[in-house]
Structure 1
Amino acid sequence: MVQVSAGRRIWGWYFFDWASQPYNTLLITFIFGPYINDLLRDGSAAQAAWGYGVGAAGICIAIFAPILGAIADRAGGRMKFIWLFSLLYVAGAAGLWFAAPDDFNLLFILLSFGIGLIGMEFATIFTNAMLPGLGTREQIGRISGTGWAFGYVGGLVALLIMLFLLAENPLTGKTLIGISPLFGLDAAAREGTRAVGPFAALWYAVFMIPFFLWVREPRQPGAETIGQAVRAALPELRQTLRHLPENRSLFAYLASSMFYRDALNGMYAFGGIYAAGVLGWSVVDVGVFGILAIITGAIFAFLGGRADERFGPKPVIVFNVLVLSAVAVAILFIAPDKVFGITVGPDSKLPDIAFYAMGALIGAGGGALQSASRTMMVRQASPGRMTEAFGLYALAGKATSFVAPLSIGIVTDITNDQRLGITPLIILFIIGLFLLFWVKPDGEPSEKWADSSASSF
């Protein structure tokens, strides 16, 4: 095996965030989600359909993520799983090209989107489990924060390419810089916007090359065959879950993160489609909003990593959950005719400016929160059972990943009001914040890191 330096391994690991971020940035939030709103021509119907589609994918992830994690823990070979789920990512994203305005099959498109989302989420599970081997306890926060920031920059570059060169305004047929979509794409058929799927697939395939070249796994002595691991996975998972409440801090953290991460994912998934439906923004308008959110996300993920390194992850998590809770409440008071109780005229830019500000706060809070959450998992886990711990972290993140999108879909359907439809996010953030009270900053004494425990790939 060719030897790879520690610094290059870390950079290879960073490239997964760079490669995969466009699925969140372009497909879930800023380009394809609002495009669904354009196709259905009904903000509430689009938000409900998107909620059901994302929620169904979340259920699939919740069921299979912990099982696959247990299998990989026993059989080794995380890289093989990352290859498999990378193929799902590419195939699912590429299928979104077929969302043509005159021949739009909602079921097929949601299925393609779900396949790609499942691929992205499962690949993330296995790459996150590699984090503890990249540095010591003190270094993990900075590494995690830099990785998130690098991913946000990748998402920003991909978004700028889409807005400047491909995604057309449906009214003018021009991109953000006033040109027709490149490569002769037909603006009338929305080919520039639909190209977001193949573009995201190609972006991922190209930028995963450094990851596969530079990231290495250690040989696992006594690794089982896949068949043996499959037979042992479910009994092992049941045993792990049975004893989980014995570690009160870890149990409380997993429960807390389960709720606040679900709420944050709900914000990401519905931010663009909400703005399109409530404020009447075009795909290009939402894209500009996305640029601002991604810039603040990159900056504060980086700064949050430094704060994590200095103060530990818990203060970073608490602060950002408070910020995001306040944002979820504030969004309820932004409408085309009234902003925070102030009545505005039809030509006022205040609603747009206020929502831009909320987007900046979502980006900033989300970047720092996700980075610190990864390192908090490292603090809570036992060095000798780190892979198992990240399997539990994946379970906590996905076990209720369908709650936010499904609850938004249901509340939106019942009220026929997009603003009221996002109220479940407020409740989820509050529950997550409450459960953090029982989380010890460094975990239970028996679960603390030893600096010398960091392994290498």
Structure 2
Amino acid sequence: MASAVWNKQTVSWALFDWGNSAFATTVMVVFFPVFFKQYWSADVSATESTAWLAFANGGASFVLAVLAPLLGTIGDRGGARLKFLFGFTLLGVVTTAGLAFVHQGEWQLAAILFALGSIGFWGGIIFYDSLLIDVAPRDKLDTVSGFGYSIGYLGGGVLLAINIWMTQKPEFFGLANATEAVKASFVTVAVWWALFAIPIFMNVHERSAPSVRKGPALRESLAELAKTVREVRRYRGVVFFLLSYWMYIDGVNTIQKMAVDYGLAIGLPSSSLVMAILMVQFIGFPAALLFGWIGQRISAIVGIFICIAVYAGVTVYATVLNTATEFFIMAAATGCVQGGIQALSRSYYGSIIPAERSGEFFGFYNMMSKFAAVLGPFLMGATALLTGDSRSAILSIVVLFIGGAAMLVVAARNRGT
């Protein structure tokens, strides 16, 4: 493991995850949704503010889902994945810092900056993921991918802990109140993101690619993308894995997005929910390393199956929990497999795609992850309407894990075809 992970390129690559994960934890999951409701749109109806927040999230996801394969193709054709990564990182850093200067009542501007920051975050991940092929040997993808996710969980958790401390003890940091602390937290995320992005641009070397002129690059990339779509049946193992990934990661995303709302709905205090989120980050650090080892020593497919089984169990358990202690147990179980299923999915996919087209193929991979936020909520909503029971609605998510596992079996049998 040491020879594969502890070198300048892999550590520099992983540190990018350490940095940008702060946006996912502090901004996306914890502070922005609460601050948007309670500060920026405090004078707006709950319905209207919810709609704008949904538009910001949905709009950013849709833009990236549509553009992801094309962006990956352009990056491959021009050998410009690091340049694209820099551009998206700059967009995310600047707009995240900009949130600190949005005044109360300016909820439209806050929503727009958040959407742009999300595009910077998710757009950068397309090229960050594709660089895994450049920094890791093919036989060490599981280890390096797991290392990246583990570092990301730790980095995001460390800054989130500091930011929570800032809001609880603002005077210690020379801040007037919790409101100023939240605004300062947005700046710390931007600085953290930018600082830990520096090593990847200094030390990671993208493999050589054919040199193309800027004019023809877009036309050639569009033609190459169209060709890939037409010939996708040649990559049967890839197709079946993407279908499997779309199903089980939809279940994962649904649980992540609904967990806090569900906890509030059953009367749990918000402080307990925030601490549970923080706990997931620190459990995810060693767990992702462990699953990287499982993928390397046993099989990435076996590791993914273990994660799917745990997620299915967590979903069933969620239907009977009633206390904060039980919620913490659910969060701990989720933390054990959340990083693992992400890391092994990425490394397994990287092992079955053509290396020279990793940007393009990871574009498809990230497109699936963006569209993997539709079926789960639809299942929950439809089940809730039919049964009138929110616990039955959550249970319906198990269908996604069962379907994903079944399709994963087909993908494994078709690997290399």
TM-score between both structures, scaled by the size of structure 1: 0.80
What is residue 12 of structure 2 aligned with on the other side?
Answer: 12
Counterparts of 1:50 and 1:418 in 2: how far apart (Å)? 23
What is residue 313 of structure 2 aligned with on the other side?
Answer: 326
| 1:377 aligned to which of 335, 343, 349 | 349
Which string of whole-angstrom CA distances, capped at 9 and with x for unpartnered residues, describes residues 393-450 of structure 1? 223223x1442687499779979997677567444333322321211178226xxxxx
Measured after TM superposition, the shift of residue 391 of structure 1 is 2.8
1:204 counterpart = 2:193: yes
Evaluate the alpha carbon distance shift between residue 384 and residue 231 of structure 1 in structure 2; reply closer, same or farther with a 3 A threshold. closer
Measured after TM superposition, the shift of residue 57 of structure 1 is 1.5
1:311 counterpart = 2:262: no
Evaluate the alpha carbon distance shift between residue 365 and residue 443 of structure 1 in structure 2; reply closer, same or farther with a 3 A threshold. same
1:266 counterpart = 2:254: yes
Evaluate the alpha carbon distance shift between residue 279 and residue 214 of structure 1 in structure 2; reply closer, same or farther with a 3 A threshold. farther
Kindly indicate whether the alpha-carbon contact (under 8 Å) linking 2:100 and 2:184 is maintained by their aligned counterparts in 1: yes
Kindly indicate whether the alpha-carbon contact (under 8 Å) linking 2:287 and 2:339 is maintained by their aligned counterparts in 1: yes
Which string of whole-angstrom CA distances, capped at 9 and with x for unpartnered residues, describes residues 92-146 of structure 1? 322333566xx33443322221111111111111011111222322211111111
86-95 or 368-377: bigger deviation: 86-95
What is residue 28 of structure 1 aligned with on the other side?
Answer: 28
Counterparts of 2:106 and 2:262 in 1: how far apart (Å)? 22
Evaluate the alpha carbon distance shift between residue 106 and residue 83 of structure 1 in structure 2; reply closer, same or farther with a 3 A threshold. same
Counterparts of 1:121 and 1:275 in 2: how far apart (Å)? 27
Kindly indicate whether the alpha-carbon contact (under 8 Å) linking 1:70 and 1:233 is maintained by their aligned counterparts in 2: yes
Evaluate the alpha carbon distance shift between residue 183 and residue 268 of structure 1 in structure 2; reply closer, same or farther with a 3 A threshold. farther
1:186 counterpart = 2:181: no
What is residue 218 of structure 2 aligned with on the other side?
Answer: 230
Kindly indicate whether the alpha-carbon contact (under 8 Å) linking 1:256 and 1:432 is maintained by their aligned counterparts in 2: yes
Kindly indicate whether the alpha-carbon contact (under 8 Å) linking 1:17 and 1:151 is maintained by their aligned counterparts in 2: yes
Evaluate the alpha carbon distance shift between residue 263 and residue 12 of structure 1 in structure 2; reply closer, same or farther with a 3 A threshold. same
Evaluate the alpha carbon distance shift between residue 375 and residue 417 of structure 1 in structure 2; reply closer, same or farther with a 3 A threshold. same
- Which residue type is aligned with residue 239 of structure 2? F
- Which residue type is aligned with residue 80 of structure 1? K
Evaluate the alpha carbon distance shift between residue 270 and residue 33 of structure 1 in structure 2; reply closer, same or farther with a 3 A threshold. farther
Unaligned runs of 5+ in 2: none
1:53 counterpart = 2:42: no
Which string of whole-angstrom CA distances, capped at 9 and with x for unpartnered residues, describes residues 363-390 of structure 1? 2211100010011112222345444332
Measured after TM superposition, the shift of residue 253 of structure 1 is 0.1
What is residue 249 of structure 1 aligned with on the other side?
Answer: 237
| 1:397 aligned to which of 365, 369, 386 | 369
Counterparts of 2:183 and 2:262 in 1: how far apart (Å)? 20
Kindly indicate whether the alpha-carbon contact (under 8 Å) linking 2:36 and 2:110 is maintained by their aligned counterparts in 1: no
| Residue pairs, 1:27-426, within 5 angstroms | 27-36=27-36, 38=38, 50-97=53-100, 103-164=104-165, 166-167=166-167, 175=168, 180=171, 182-187=173-178, 190-220=179-209, 222-276=210-264, 278-282=266-270, 284-334=271-321, 339=322, 351-398=323-370, 400-403=371-374, 407=378, 425-426=397-398
SS in structure 1 opposite 2:292? helix
Counterparts of 1:104 and 1:277 in 2: how far apart (Å)? 27
Evaluate the alpha carbon distance shift between residue 99 and residue 444 of structure 1 in structure 2; reply closer, same or farther with a 3 A threshold. same
**Percent of aligned pairs with the same amino acid:** 26
1:443 counterpart = 2:415: yes
- Which residue type is aligned with residue 23 of structure 2? Y
Q: How many residues align?
A: 409
SS in structure 2 opposite 1:82? helix
Kindly indicate whether the alpha-carbon contact (under 8 Å) linking 2:170 and 2:176 is maintained by their aligned counterparts in 1: no
Evaluate the alpha carbon distance shift between residue 208 and residue 413 of structure 1 in structure 2; reply closer, same or farther with a 3 A threshold. farther
Evaluate the alpha carbon distance shift between residue 54 and residue 127 of structure 1 in structure 2; reply closer, same or farther with a 3 A threshold. same
Counterparts of 1:110 and 1:409 in 2: how far apart (Å)? 26
SS in structure 2 opposite 1:279? coil
Evaluate the alpha carbon distance shift between residue 106 and residue 411 of structure 1 in structure 2; reply closer, same or farther with a 3 A threshold. farther
SS in structure 1 opposite 2:231? helix
Which string of whole-angstrom CA distances, capped at 9 and with x for unpartnered residues, describes residues 182-232 of structure 1? 232333xx2222333222111101111222221122332x32123212112
Counterparts of 1:228 and 1:432 in 2: how far apart (Å)? 39
87-96 or 115-124: bigger deviation: 87-96
- Which residue type is aligned with residue 146 of structure 2? G
Counterparts of 1:152 and 1:118 in 2: how far apart (Å)? 20
- Which residue type is aligned with residue 315 of structure 1? V
Evaluate the alpha carbon distance shift between residue 329 and residue 211 of structure 1 in structure 2; reply closer, same or farther with a 3 A threshold. same
Evaluate the alpha carbon distance shift between residue 362 and residue 110 of structure 1 in structure 2; reply closer, same or farther with a 3 A threshold. farther
TM-score between both structures, scaled by the size of structure 2: 0.87
- Which residue type is aligned with residue 144 of structure 2? I
Unaligned runs of 5+ in 1: 168-174, 340-350, 446-457
Kindly indicate whether the alpha-carbon contact (under 8 Å) linking 2:22 and 2:159 is maintained by their aligned counterparts in 1: yes
Evaluate the alpha carbon distance shift between residue 331 and residue 49 of structure 1 in structure 2; reply closer, same or farther with a 3 A threshold. farther
- Which residue type is aligned with residue 271 of structure 1? A
Output the aligned Cα RMSD.
3.2
